[in-house]
Structures are given as structure tokens and as C-alpha cells.
Amino acid sequence: MEQIVASLRDEGFRITPQRMAIVDYLLKTEDHPSADHIHKVVRKRYPMISLSTVYKTLYLLKEKNLVNEIEVEGESRFDAHTDDHINIVCIKCGKIDDVDEETLKDIQVKAAKKSKYLILKSSFELHGYCSSCKSKMK
Ligand SMILES: [Zn+2]
Ligand SMILES: [Zn+2]
């Protein structure tokens, strides 16, 4: 949190309480929320905040590589977990979970061996049904 705020401040950005609230929420949540969802949450504390402020802040954070944007079913979702990891996406309810990094490391090691590439970063998604959607399918 402090790092993010310091890096934004270094860039000459005004750190408003609204922006802080957006960063704070993104860091605390395990979800991969949409801008709409973040707007709803932050608006409870800061009723004056507009959706465009939320978008501006998110794209600013993205530009600084502090959040990742993932597109799911045409909707942008935001992830403050910027270490390499796999996002697993439910195509039914839109829930997104993280898969542990070890799994991704295994894939990277195998892919590097096979292709003889030096792999620097990776991002990918798995799509399917989450456990609760899966159980409703029967
Ligand atoms: Zn689901
Ligand atoms: Zn994630």
C-alpha cells in the first residue's frame, strides 16, 4: 500500500482519499472486481466519487503496472496481484480465483526447456465452472 502510494506520489499524482480507497480495496480483496463493483464499494464511503474517477485511477494503476486488467466476457476486471499467477475464471458467474504460483512455475520451466526461450513473464487464464456453478449444473 505505502509503496503504491509512494510511487504514485513520485509521479506527481495527487493522492486523494478516494484514490486511496480504491487502492486499499483492490489490495484487500481476493476477488477480481470490475470497475462498477469497485465504484459501488467505494461509493459507500465517498458518495461523491464518479465511475469515471474509478476508471481513471484504475488505468493509472495499470499504466504503473500496479494492477492487471483481465478481460472476461467483454468486461474488464482488475487484479492487484501482479506477480505471475494463473487466473481461473468461471464462465457462468464470472468469479475469478488465483491458482497458486507453483503450478505456473512448473509450466514455465517446462515451456522454457522445450522452446529454449528465456521466459520473463506470463499471464494466462483457465476457464470453466466454479464449484458452486458446477454443482448447480446437474
Ligand atoms: Zn461460478
Ligand atoms: Zn488473479
Cα(90) to centroid of ligand 1, in Å? Answer: 5
The CATH number covering residue 96 comes to 3.30.1490.190
pLDDT of 96 above 90 = yes
pLDDT digits (tens, 9 = 90+) for 23-36: 999 989 988 999 99
Task: Supply the pLDDT for residue 47.
Answer: 95
Q: Is 14 left (phi over 0), alpha (psi -120 to 50) or beta?
A: beta
The CATH number covering residue 58 comes to 1.10.10.10
Task: Supply the pLDDT for residue 122.
Answer: 79
Cα(97) to centroid of ligand 1, in Å? Answer: 10
pLDDT digits (tens, 9 = 90+) for 52-82: 999 999 998 898 888 999 888 888 999 988 8
Q: How far is CA 14 from CA 25, 54, 66, 136, in A?
A: 18, 14, 16, 47
Task: Supply the pLDDT for residue 124.
Answer: 79
What is the rounded distance in angstroms from the CA atom of residue 46 to the CA atom of residue 43?
5
Question: What total number of domains does the chain contain?
Answer: 2
Residue 45 and residue 103 in one domain: no
Cα(93) to centroid of ligand 1, in Å? Answer: 4
Task: Supply the pLDDT for residue 121.
Answer: 80
The domain of 15 spans 2-79
